[in-house]
Structure 1
Amino acid sequence: MPRIELSAGPVDYLDTGGDGPVLVLTHGLPMNETQWRKVVPLLRGYRCVLPTLPLGGHRTPMHADADLTQQGLARLLAEFLERLDLRDVTVVMNDWGGPQFLVAEGRTERVARLVFVACEAFDNFPPGSAKGLARLLRIPGGPRLAVWLFGRKWFRQSRQAYGALSLHGVPDEVMRDWFEPLSRDANVLRDFVKFATSAPKRARLLELSERLREFDRPVLVVWADKDKLMPRAHGRRLADLFPDSRLVEIASSGTLIPEDQPERLTEVLTGFLAETGAVPADGVSGR
């Protein structure tokens, strides 16, 4: 897997290559590029770039002084786009909603479109039961207890933990891959704790959300009908913020729509891309 050295540290990424429009797909906490493993093969004619950002599933730690706040990660993503010279990018986020802070940071010069797929928004940082995880990580011994819990299948797959993200379930070998770096490298765990405990206060989050109105390019909002973590009303609220947006709700899915409904998500995504001028290189979108 290619790796690029950024100001905060090394970032691994998957790049399918090709001459098609560029899609940058981000992931959740503490996931990696495999979050999109069912969708990427369906995106024929598009160049898919998937950075493994330092949200805990990254395989190599960041520098000790790296800014891993929500806005710091948004700036890191902007630097990633710049260093790879990616232009007219469609940024697609799922679960983690941090890429939206590119707007507040004034770093959307390379972004042609935003796609929100069942992700954190408004004051829902961190969402649902993840608030309890953030509290645990702040207490002495909490990070090690979290790692111990992540190492147990019964916890990983619990509907009160990561099992809540997918209506149909994430294969446990995929989940183990997400959590393995935390148990292997104390500095990856350090990065995870820094990020997971960095959510801004509610007033600041709502202030940052208002800045989204400044983004005047096409926006797609895709929400799930059975999501336990991302309030259903947030989909409509997000879509209403933008002058050029559309909302699609997907049935029979939890937060991880790429896991639960990859074909339907691909259909919606490629339709939006074609409608807004991002025609695939082979002239055929989707499967």
Structure 2
Amino acid sequence: MVTPLINTKKYVNVREINGIDFYYEHYQNRNATKTLFFIHGFLSSSFSFRYVIPELMDSYEIVSVDFPPFGNSGKTLDFTYSYKNITVSLLKLIHVLNLKNVSIIGHSMGGQIGLHMLYQSPETFEKAVLLAGSAYLKQVRKSLIALSYLPFSGMFVKRWLIKSGGVEGNLAKVVYNKSIITDEMVKGYLEPFIKYDNIFRALAKFIRDREDDLLQPILKKIKTPILLVWGDSDKIVPIVVGKRLKNDLPDSELVILPKTGHLIPEERPERTVELIKKFIQ
């Protein structure tokens, strides 16, 4: 059941930050004292939080952002798609919007970026909830980086995505209960790839620009309270990653959801909302 909009107004915006357009949805709540900053995962967008945000927007101010080159954000080849540069840009957006008492809600790669934000600007955030947050990844092989410079690299990325099963096939890999995959769901995840054909060239550059994840010594310096939420059947970022993060992040706790895959906001929206409210408050 979707909570009615009582104190909240939704604004859809595009703002240029560091030379690229950032699309974000801003749910302004005149009675809220805390802000939730949502960051989606790889090949995704703010669409993935469509069941979670409606249940939270009457209690918090919310900003949900599409980080480039995904969703409705920019896909220029002039932007550096590194964790560091995306992080700097998102921090600037938070500053421009004058957000206060901010907590990060990051899913998958959004969790990776969230950890970078906590490390670079710990004073900006109160807490963080990482939903199957990726971590410990190394930069891609040099051969793939070399391929990303080819004129037709975008075509290779497109063919790779199709060969991997397309949107529907990839959704089947990231959920435990495949019956939740509907035509509406497939359409929502597919739309940016139909609407913006230049996303494939940008993805090739994204692969080239992405650096190594944060190392253990850096993770141990992050003192922000963090809730780690994992599905016990996650095949994309296995539970072993969550347990490792629990050991490496000084102020963290881990909740494991049974019969749940990687796409936690889609599979367990009610439980996700419950955990966020309890942890943030």
TM-score w.r.t. the length of structure 1 is 0.80
Aligned to 2:5: none
Partner of 1:68, secondary structure, is: coil
Instruction: Give the Cα separation in 1 of the matches to 2:163 and 2:189.
Output: 13
Query: RCO greater where, 1 or 2, for CA within 8 Å and sep 6 or more?
Result: 1
Aligned to 1:224: 231
1:89 aligns with one of 84, 102, 108: 102
Indicate whether 1:174 and 2:185 are aligned: yes
Tell me which moved more, 209-218 or 17-26. 209-218
- Name the aligned partner's letter for residue 117 of structure 1: L
Aligned to 2:217: 210
Please state how far the C-alpha of 1:23 moved relative to its aligned partner: 0.4
Change beyond 3 A, Cα 1:65–1:142: closer
- Name the aligned partner's letter for residue 211 of structure 2: P
Aligned to 1:188: 199
Please state how far the C-alpha of 1:187 moved relative to its aligned partner: 3.6
Partner of 2:209, secondary structure, is: coil
**Which ranges in structure 1 are unaligned for 5 or more consecutive residues?**
275-287
Partners of 1:32 and 1:52 within 8 A in 2: yes
**Which ranges in structure 2 are unaligned for 5 or more consecutive residues?**
1-11
Q: Give a deviation string over 1:245-269, Cα, whole Å, max 9, x none.
A: 2111111111111111111111111
Please state how far the C-alpha of 1:196 moved relative to its aligned partner: 3.1
Partners of 1:86 and 1:110 within 8 A in 2: no
| RMSD, aligned α-carbons | 2.7
Partners of 1:30 and 1:55 within 8 A in 2: no
1:1-287 alignment, distance < 5 Å: 1-18=12-29, 19-20=31-32, 21-43=34-56, 44-57=58-71, 59-96=72-109, 97-104=112-119, 106-123=120-137, 138=148, 140=150, 141-147=152-158, 155-158=166-169, 161-169=170-178, 170-201=181-212, 205=213, 207=215, 209-274=216-281
TM-score w.r.t. the length of structure 2 is 0.81
Partners of 2:234 and 2:262 within 8 A in 1: yes
Please state how far the C-alpha of 1:176 moved relative to its aligned partner: 3.3
Partners of 1:222 and 1:249 within 8 A in 2: yes
Instruction: Give the Cα separation in 1 of the matches to 2:196 and 2:166.
Output: 21
Change beyond 3 A, Cα 1:200–1:150: closer
Partners of 2:145 and 2:207 within 8 A in 1: no
Partner of 2:132, secondary structure, is: strand
Instruction: Give the Cα separation in 1 of the matches to 2:244 and 2:104.
Output: 19
Change beyond 3 A, Cα 1:102–1:60: closer
Instruction: Give the Cα separation in 2 of the matches to 1:137 and 1:93.
Output: 30
Partners of 2:154 and 2:203 within 8 A in 1: no
Q: Give a deviation string over 1:192-224, Cα, whole Å, max 9, x none.
A: 2222343324xxx353x4312222221111111
Question: How many residues are matched?
Answer: 260
